[in-house]
Amino acid sequence: MDLINFQQALNNAQVYKQRHLLLGNGFSIACVPTIFTYQSLFNEADFKDSPQIKKAFEILKTTDFELVIQALEQSGKLLEGYDNTQSKLASQMLADAEIIKDILIQTIANNHPGSPADIPDAKFNACSNFLSNFITSGKVYTLNYDLLLYWTLMFNMNNQQSKILPCDGFGRDTFINSGEVEVSDYVTWQGTSKAKEQNVHYLHGALHLFDAGRDLQKYTWIDTGVPLVDQTRLALQVDKFPIFVSEGNCDSKMDKITHSAYLYHNFKSFSGICSGTYFKKPASSCLFTYGVSFAENDNHILECISKGTIQHLFVGLYGNPETDSNQQIIKKALELGKYRSEIFKLKTTFYDAESANVWGKTT
């Protein structure tokens, strides 16, 4: 299979009113490959309090955290169903699945770049140029938990020539105190009041987003002077965990999403841009993916594309398209349009992800 380059893909997309973007883990790996691959995270994970969990990774011959979570959850449910005398072991398996989720969060936070200063400005500039192809007229969605997208957007807030005007739906509440208008000292999700403006969506949560009960708060540097990663690490030390969807299968992920107003809002937004019409006409928009693996445990996201009316899907492939991993992506991407009617036919194009130079040209 011959791939077109990213610029050719953009040229082909000019016929659509909106270009949207879905980011996967490959986006973060392209920036800092030594941290964000599952192999790197596994190497840094602390299993000393749960050696049986590390054994589970070894038995399954994988470093994929979500795969092991799924295996433990399914095994625990099956074991209890087959032999009710094994309820204690079944409960332990389910508990270990939850422990892995916490280990994953801790590992990402502990090994994440400490601050934006750890990323060269040239990378942020390159990424900003990449994002400007979408955020100026469409929306950006990410499956990632890390802070790289957020840092890039904040980097551009100080650039007066930037074409990027991001809105993640968060802001400061105002209230009346003794007749005076005051502004909250922390940033919260504004709900539907900013729904139309919001053009950046964290579909699976992020390290800087915390459920504070009545509010969903976003940690910021400007309020504390403490780097975001350090704030997250401090929160984890007192058992405060960020909004984080790391369940092992798509049904479990969707269950967690529907129980969070913020996550469900983001999901409905993505579903909406994939449908895009109430008049039984194809949506005049297209979707680019970058760094998305099209894995089964993200079927809740992929089904939005399959069941929608969005006209064109541009899929980024990194490296040789004939590799097993890329062939799996190609197969899954083509299947998304398999059950579309002729009216809502989905066109799928594959482009060379490396040619997008998302974090700048590699030397």
Lowest mean pLDDT among 62-71, 120-129, 211-220, 225-234: 211-220
Q: Which of 350, 323, 327, 347 is nearest to 336 (CA)?
A: 347
Q: Quick one: angle between helices 299-306 and 250-258, nearest 10?
A: 90
Residue 160, pLDDT score: 61
**Whole-angstrom Cα Rg for the chain:** 21
276 pLDDT above the threshold of 90: no
Residue 281, pLDDT score: 63
Lowest mean pLDDT among 52-56, 132-136, 229-233, 256-260: 229-233
Tokens of 84: 């009710």
> Cβ distance 2 to 322 under 8 Å?
no
- Domain spans of the chain, in order of start: 6-32+115-165+192-209+243-356, 38-111
Residue 277, pLDDT score: 56
Structure-token match 């970058």, residue found: 290
Residue 221, pLDDT score: 74
Mean of pLDDT values over 256-270: 94
Residue 274, pLDDT score: 92
> Cβ distance 156 to 200 under 8 Å?
no
Backbone angles phi, psi at 230, to 5 degrees: -65, -40
Q: Which of 166, 192, 173 is nearest to 265 (CA)?
A: 192
| DSSP, res 222 | H
Q: Which of 156-165, 237-246, 340-349 has the highest mean predicted lDDT (pLDDT)? A: 340-349
Residue 348, pLDDT score: 98
Tokens of 18: 């909106």
Lowest mean pLDDT among 129-133, 236-240, 357-361: 236-240
Residue 265, pLDDT score: 94
Mean of pLDDT values over 103-115: 90
First-to-final CA distance of the chain: 25
Percent of the chain with pLDDT over 70: 91
Q: Which residue has the higher pLDDT, 249 or 236?
A: 249
- Render pLDDT for 69-107 as a digit per residue (tens, 0 to 9): 999 999 999 988 888 788 899 999 999 999 999 999 989
Mean of pLDDT values over 50-67: 94
For residues 130 and 133, give the distance between their C-alpha atoms in angstroms, rounded to a whole number: 6
CATH code of 6-32+115-165+192-209+243-356, in short, is 3.40.50
Long-range contacts of the stretch 91-100 (C-beta < 8 A, 24+): 96/50, 96/52, 96/53, 96/56, 96/72, 97/69, 97/72, 97/73, 97/248, 99/50, 99/53, 100/53, 100/65, 100/68, 100/69, 100/72
Q: Which residue has the higher pLDDT, 149 or 166?
A: 149
Tokens of 258: 């529907």
Taking the CB of residue 18, how many other CB atoms lie within 10 A of it?
18
Q: Quick one: angle between helices 87-111 and 228-237, nearest 10?
A: 150
Which residues, other chains included, contact 127 with Cβ-Cβ below 8 Å and sequence gap of 6+?
31, 148, 152, 358, 359
164 pLDDT above the threshold of 60: yes
175 pLDDT above the threshold of 50: no
> 217 vs 22, 211, 255, 362, CA distance in Å?
24, 6, 21, 36
- State whether the Cα torsion 183-184-187-188 is positive or negative: negative
181 pLDDT above the threshold of 50: no
Q: What is the average pLDDT score of the chain?
A: 88
253 pLDDT above the threshold of 70: yes
- Render pLDDT for 213-232 as a digit per residue (tens, 0 to 9): 777 888 887 667 778 888 88
Q: Which residue has the higher pLDDT, 128 or 174?
A: 128
171 pLDDT above the threshold of 90: no
Residue 283, pLDDT score: 67
Percent of the chain with pLDDT over 90: 62
174 pLDDT above the threshold of 60: no
